[in-house]
Copies of this chain bind each other. A is one copy, B any other.
């Protein structure tokens, strides 16, 4: 029963698009996903990342049943698709689930608004630093100390709300200052405290 809703999604594939009709939500068993929003043809903003145990697609709930964002896997991902009806029914039946979801939304909203303020007022360097610390907090580090998510520069840029090139320069800067170090996509934060001082 459950099995026929279990999806295996390969790396770098978009499993729902901004504007699509809302069919249901996804529960991530394994893998990592970016949730993003387009602007024009070639610009996007990554709104959030989701990993193991997170849900994706819930943002579509509300008046118009349309996904307001797209979701794309960053690595091979397995997820459970939960039909909208089933989900709504579960909510009706399970008070606790609904309450958890409510709290989850509340947290997300706080996050989102902090990000808004950052985009409006924080300079790029701060935003990149903030993004890195965010990623570390969410995904942790590997045993070698690298942030446990392998992200293209472009994705990092889209997350920080800036361009590829600028992200690049900022990253070298931070590296020169001894706050981080990296080889390709693998990034280590050497000094959390001082990295946090870049903003704030």
> Contact residues of A with B, CB < 8 Å?
37, 39-40, 43, 45, 47, 58-63, 68-69, 91-92, 95, 98-99, 101-103, 105-110, 112-117, 119-122, 161
> Are A120 and B117 in touch, CB under 8 angstroms?
no
A37 to B68, CA, bound (A): 24
Given A59-B110, A106-B59, A110-B62, verify A120-B68 contact (CB < 8 Å).
Answer: no
A106 close to B62 (CB less than 8 A): yes
Given A39-B120, A98-B99, A109-B115 contact (CB < 8 Å): no
Q: Is the CB of A45 within 8 A of B120?
A: yes
Nearest residue, chain B, Cβ from A121 = B39
Task: Tell me the complex Cα distance, A113–B62, Å.
Answer: 14
